[in-house]
Amino acid sequence: MTDRYSRQVLFPGIGRSGQESLQTKHVLIIGAGALGAANAEMIVRAGVGQVTIVDRDYVDFSNLQRQNLYTEQDAVDRMPKAEAARKRLAAVNSDVHITALTQDADSAFLEQITARNHIDLIVDGTDNFDVRFILNDVAQKKRIPWVYGACVASGGLSMLIVPGKTPCLHCLMDTMPGTGATCDTAGIISPAVQMTASVQTAEALKWLSGNTEALRGTIFSFDLWKNQFSSVDVQRMKKRDCPSCGTKPVYPFLSYERTTKFAVLCGRDTVQIRPADVTKRNLAKLADHIKQTTTITHQNGFLLSFQQTPYTVTAFRDGRVLIQGVSSVEESKRVYYQYFQ
């Protein structure tokens, strides 16, 4: 073992045995945006042996304010985030085997990668609950612990979810804050990202080094601007009848019926998105978020339209969304998840 990890080895919570354990572990990071990039850097610097990074997007100039692995040249080149992250992290620590996958993390992909690889821990760096609920079901099905994390504006929250021991995300879905705000509607400050990622990575290092007695076991949340912090014990929220982690799990978010559906409308240069669980959209609440960052062009009792240049986005009361000016499902996902959780 080199001096690279000497300060980490000196820390009693990890020590030499913990460091040796880290070097045998494989972490899967879903999303290489703000949270994914911050987690990836800390995990790679800590000397975790194998890291796989998955992201479908490319680097944009708007990312550089908070996504610490990327450069202006990455944005100019529109480098895929996963590959840009791999290149940067390989220069930081050549001891770690890093795999980059420019891929949409849908249910088929997540089931495949967890079946083909031994994964010790999954880190949530996603930006929407569609993927998180799929990730939660895959993690429960494959019995892989994962670290949930989310941040927006000046706040964030995190929790380590351990199959068979803690409540899963589906158990907690009625407890989680549901503002609907995203970084593109409410903004975000970089310290909120780093705080959330630090809490996530701390729990990851505890688990990977075998120090399970140090695990927090709560949902930790904070708002740095309002100087608010909380840590809530949610163990009682674990549900025996939860369809994702209960006594008779069916993993509903891995089924076609419970996925958000994207369809290219023939001849219209438009993609229609139909969320699985939205039957009535609150257009007034959506308008409050949208008007903070862009101009609403049309609004009535049935729909709301706004510009996301060069696209026109229309949200209907029945939950559907149309994105006009795009024929690629992948590009429509990038636009959709900027505004809809």
Give the mean pLDDT of 246-252.
95
**What is the pLDDT confidence band of residue 267, given thresholds at 50, 70 and 90?**
low
So which residues are the catalytic ones? 183
- pLDDT value of position 260: 84
* Torsion angle (degrees, nearest 10) of CA 192, 204, 100, 35: -10
The residue length of the chain stands at 341
**Superfamily, domain 260-339:** TATA-Binding Protein (3.30.310.10)
Using a pLDDT cut of 90, give the percent of the chain over it.
68
Enter the CATH code of domain 3-254.
Answer: 3.40.50.720
Q: Which residue has the higher pLDDT, 57 or 52?
A: 52
pLDDT above 60: residue 291: yes
Contact 124, 147 (CB under 8 A): yes
Using a pLDDT cut of 70, give the percent of the chain over it.
95
Closest CA to 200 of 143, 157, 141, 237: 157
Strand partners of residue 272: 263, 322
Q: Is 214 left (phi over 0), alpha (psi -120 to 50) or beta?
A: alpha
Q: Which residue has the higher pLDDT, 281 or 214?
A: 214
**Strand, helix or coil for residue 36:** helix
Contact 104, 112 (CB under 8 A): no
Q: Which residue has the higher pLDDT, 250 or 179?
A: 250
Q: What is the pLDDT of residues 58-93, one digit of tens each?
A: 898 989 999 999 999 999 998 999 999 999 999 999
Which distant-in-sequence residues (6+ apart) come within 8 Å of 26 by Cβ?
48, 49, 50, 51, 52, 117, 118, 119, 120
- pLDDT value of position 178: 47
Phi, psi for 199 (deg, rounded to 5):
-65, -40
pLDDT above 50: residue 306: yes
Q: Determine the Cα–Cα distance for residues 237 and 122; give it in Å rounded to an integer.
A: 22
Q: Determine the Cα–Cα distance for residues 204 and 225; give it in Å rounded to an integer.
A: 26
Q: Which residue has the higher pLDDT, 173 or 238?
A: 238
Domain boundaries, the chain: 3-254, 260-339
Q: Considering only 34-38, 125-129, 262-266, which range has the smallest mean pLDDT?
A: 262-266
**What is the pLDDT confidence band of residue 278, given thresholds at 50, 70 and 90?**
low
**What is the pLDDT confidence band of residue 187, given thresholds at 50, 70 and 90?**
confident
